[in-house]
A and B are shown apart, each in its own frame.
Chain A
Amino acid sequence: MVEYSEARLSRTFAALADPTRRAILARLKQGSLTVGEIAEPFAISLNAVSKHLKLLERAQLLRREVRGREHYCSLDAAPIGVAEQWANGYREFWETRLDALDQLVTARRKARGDKGAR
């Protein structure tokens, strides 16, 4: 099984655990936005939005670029991909285990000379 950085995964999951932060990421799928634009649809203070952005930045899910007086934020989905690979790692684990289980029961049935054993 591929090893992933536990600390990085924890930061990704913690960042995605919050619905406001997921909504922010969903908005950023359309392209980069200023902090003010991101805050617009949310009924929370600019300061609260700013805290969410900092957390997303620490989780490397968000990139910030300063152009003139504006901060532009854009989405970096790479850590989500890593998290998904990590989750699929378990799919692969069970798939290959079930292959081995099938081989074992098939071999046993053949050894017993059962009819219908492949």
Chain B
Amino acid sequence: MSSPPLRIVRVLSAPPEEIFDAWLDAASLAVWMAPGDVERSTVEVDPRVGGRFRIVMKAPRGDHEHTGEYLVLERPRRLVFTWTSEATHGRSTTVSIELRPHGKGETELTLVHEGLPAETAEDHRSGWGDILRKQDAHVGERRGR
């Protein structure tokens, strides 16, 4: 049993090649994979199909480990990897990244996170629809700039 896939669409200010590489480069990941109260992340990557990664977010209240395996590496269009962390309750989930050239030197990124265990009752689905509509509005706003 899984939730409907989590889907996020964003326009990022660099070409697909640059965005793709930032997902696989340890020095880049250490910077952008350090959320909130995380001081820094230590990152180990083996960027080949079947290779694994390990991102440890060092936080004041304890470390958060995220691990996974690269399933698809098609520079610069597509990247698929498994993702396991305490927030997935140790369960292996799948993250797919699609990159498309957008505008002048920009990239439209679509992130799909599948296998998160959160099936919700029918009337809660509207919540997802609402969020996706807000997301579309956000992308539209960025495009309009």
Contact = CB atoms under 8 A, between A and B. Distances in A.
Given A22-B121, A88-B131, A109-B14, A98 B3 contact: no
Interface in B17-41: 18-19, 22, 28, 31-36
Contact of A86 (B1, B36, B118, B124): B118
Given A26-B121, A83-B118, A86-B118, A93 B35 contact: yes
Given A90-B87, A90-B113, A94-B113, A105 B13 contact: yes
B87 A89 contact: yes
B1 A17 contact: yes
Contacts of B141: none
A90 B119 contact: no
A26 B23 CA distance: 42
B1 A109 contact: no
A100 B32 contact: yes
Contacts of A81: 124
B20 to A, nearest CB: 11
B12 interface: yes
A105 B18 contact: yes
Interface majority SS on A: helix, strand, loop or mixed?
A: helix
B121 A80 contact: yes
B32 A106 contact: no
A29 B123 CA distance: 9
Given A9-B89, A16-B121, A98 B116 contact: no
Contacts of A106: 13-14
A117 interface: yes
Contacts of A80: 120-121, 124
B144 interface: no
Given A1-B87, A13-B1, A103-B32, 15 more contacts: A16-B1, A17-B1, A22-B121, A77-B121, A80-B121, A81-B124, A83-B118, A84-B124, A87-B120, A94-B111, A100-B31, A101-B32, A104-B28, A116-B105, A117-B13
5 contacts: A26-B122, A90-B113, A90-B116, A91-B131, A93-B35
The 5 A-B pairs at the shortest CB distance, nearest first, are namely A105-B14, A87-B118, A100-B32, A17-B1, A101-B32
